[in-house]
């Protein structure tokens, strides 16, 4: 899960005994405000909910929680289930998080509709939680604990409050009211929560009963867009690849992730000699491929990464001097690195594109998305730039993970109804304009 994820915070939306707002006949589209405006009448045949998000090291969206509503900023994470908020001191304990601003915290005592979730609640015993919940013996409150592959952690109690969703009646929802959070990233962003968007029973997607959502991650900070609900975007020629789901439960397969089947990888048009068995899940479920907006870069398992590294170094030898420092690995997983004179960009337009091949679809990584400048790293008069594909074995991660950096300027649609993921290259600012969003 998220390698550069900042103050991880999570919101659990509880199931409510009514159809989702997006599913109600004649319901108005849900509008989440992040410098967004109402879609003009007739701009879309069935305008879904839309939410603009910020792209930095994390993708963030804005929501309103509580009574009176408090605006919170949350990381959008398709690789997580449990949504959570970092709560201010005085309710669930002493809140602390690296880089968390005081005004970024949720204040449960200031909300007239906030209540704790008891240990006996069904929400406290979801089988989809990565770590089983516990019970506080004194208060009988349900406690949750979360940890991520990058070393980030969060602990707290389950609570219930209302989430404002456009003009619809507020959703009474459960969330993790986290008392402590530690983020291992040095690039912390002042966010107040994490919005879990996978297929688990307690995710935002499941609790809001959203059967389709999509987004476009821009290479500009504020030109991204998130659509909740169904929409036929005729100007986007989406290619679909089926979600992969084994017939039997496997110990290392994340059954609530958005898993697809990776069939091959090419560099500069040359297909890498990677056996099909290396790209497919093994008998334990390890080796599946996840599309994850909560991870910044993309991770490949060791054998596939080694093949990519060798071919990329070979094809870029005339263009870029390799770093040739076996002791250096950016974020402990990115060791295909180069020296670039300080103050100059790398020759991005001349670099060989890396293409991820799926059944029915592909994702092309090219240009500026191939290399990332390592902050503060210098070799004489040169800066250090690394390939944005990491070695999952070095983290370690037991899966292929496609991060949001490689989803930039790609429209990504998650169609749960038909069990598929759609991909289409598009400039996000252009797509936003077509959808009627003010940039």
Over residues 214-242, the pLDDT tens digits come to 888 887 766 678 887 776 677 788 999 99
Higher-pLDDT residue of 102 and 380 is 380
Q: Which of 77, 150, 155, 335 is catalytic?
A: 77
Report which DSSP code applies to 381: T
Higher-pLDDT residue of 92 and 196 is 196
Please say whether the beta carbons of 245 and 287 come within 8 A. no
Q: Which of 150, 155, 183, 292 is catalytic?
A: 292
Q: Say what percent of the chain tops pLDDT 70.
A: 76
Specify the CATH superfamily of domain 21-232: Acid Proteases (2.40.70.10)
Q: Other CB atoms closer than 10 Å to residue 132's CB: what's the count? A: 11
> What are the tens digits of pLDDT across the range 108-120?
999 999 998 899 8
Higher-pLDDT residue of 166 and 408 is 408
What is the predicted pLDDT for the residue at 304? 98
- Does residue 415 have an active-site annotation? no
- Does residue 282 have an active-site annotation? no
Q: Say what percent of the chain tops pLDDT 90.
A: 46
For the cut 50, the answer to whether the pLDDT of residue 35 exceeds it is: no
Give the separation between CA 73 and CA 392, rounded to whole angstroms.
Answer: 29
Higher-pLDDT residue of 432 and 86 is 86
Tokens at residue 405, please?
């950096």
Least confident of 33-42, 171-180, 396-405: 33-42
Q: Which fold has domain 239-408?
A: Cathepsin D, subunit A; domain 1 (2.40.70)
Tokens at residue 130, please?
């990565």
For the cut 70, the answer to whether the pLDDT of residue 269 exceeds it is: yes
Every domain of the chain with CATH number 2.40.70.10 lies at 21-232, 239-408
pTM of the model: 0.84
Report, as an integer, the average pLDDT of 11-36. Answer: 36
Q: CA angle 231-236-238, nearest 5°?
A: 90
Quick one: pLDDT band at residue 52, thresholds 50, 70, 90? Answer: low
Higher-pLDDT residue of 74 and 288 is 288
């Amino acid at each position: 899960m998220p390698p550069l994820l900042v103050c991880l915070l999570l919101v659990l939306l509880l199931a409510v005994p009514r159809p989702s707002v997006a599913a109600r006949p004649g319901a108005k589209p849900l509008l989440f405000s992040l410098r967004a405006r109402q879609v003009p009448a007739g701009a879309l045949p069935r305008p879904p909910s839309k939410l603009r998000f910020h792209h930095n090291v994390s993708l963030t969206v804005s929501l309103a929680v509580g009574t009176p509503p408090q605006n919170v900023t949350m990381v959008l994470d398709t690789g997580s289930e449990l949504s959570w908020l970092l709560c201010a001191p005085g309710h669930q304990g002493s809140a602390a998080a690296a880089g968390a601003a005081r005004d970024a915290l949720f204040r449960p005592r200031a909300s007239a509709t906030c209540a704790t979730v008891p240990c006996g609640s069904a929400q406290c015993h979801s089988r989809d939680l990565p770590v089983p919940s516990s019970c506080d013996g004194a208060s009988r409150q349900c406690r949750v604990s979360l940890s991520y592959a990058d070393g980030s952690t969060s602990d707290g109690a389950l609570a219930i409050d209302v989430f404002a969703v456009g003009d619809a009646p507020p959703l009474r929802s459960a969330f993790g009211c986290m008392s402590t959070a530690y983020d291992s990233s040095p690039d912390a962003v002042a966010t107040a929560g994490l919005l879990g968007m996978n297929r688990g029973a307690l995710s935002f997607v499941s609790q809001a009963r959203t059967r389709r959502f999509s987004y476009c991650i821009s290479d500009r900070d504020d030109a991204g867009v998130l659509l909740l609900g169904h929409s036929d975007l005729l100007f986007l020629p989406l290619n679909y690849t089926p979600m992969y789901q084994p017939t039997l439960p496997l110990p290392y397969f994340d059954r609530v992730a958005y898993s697809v089947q990776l069939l091959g990888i090419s560099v500069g048009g040359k297909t890498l000699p990677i056996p099909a068995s290396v790209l497919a899940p093994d008998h334990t479920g390890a080796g599946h491929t996840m599309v994850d907006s909560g991870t910044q870069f993309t991770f490949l398992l060791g054998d596939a990464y080694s093949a990519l590294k060798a071919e990329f170094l070979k094809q870029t030898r005339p263009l870029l001097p390799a770093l040739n420092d076996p002791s250096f690995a950016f974020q402990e997983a990115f060791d295909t690195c180069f020296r670039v004179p300080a103050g100059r960009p790398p020759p991005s337009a001349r670099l060989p594109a890396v293409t991820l091949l799926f059944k029915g679809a592909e994702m092309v990584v090219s240009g500026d998305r191939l290399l990332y400048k390592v902050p503060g790293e210098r070799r004489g008069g040169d800066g250090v730039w690394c390939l944005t594909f990491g070695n999952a074995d070095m983290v370690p991660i037991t899966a292929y993970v496609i991060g949001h950096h490689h989803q930039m300027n790609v429209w990504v649609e998650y169609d749960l109804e038909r069990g598929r993921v759609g991909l289409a290259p598009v400039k996000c600012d252009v797509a936003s304009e077509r959808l009627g969003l003010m940039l």
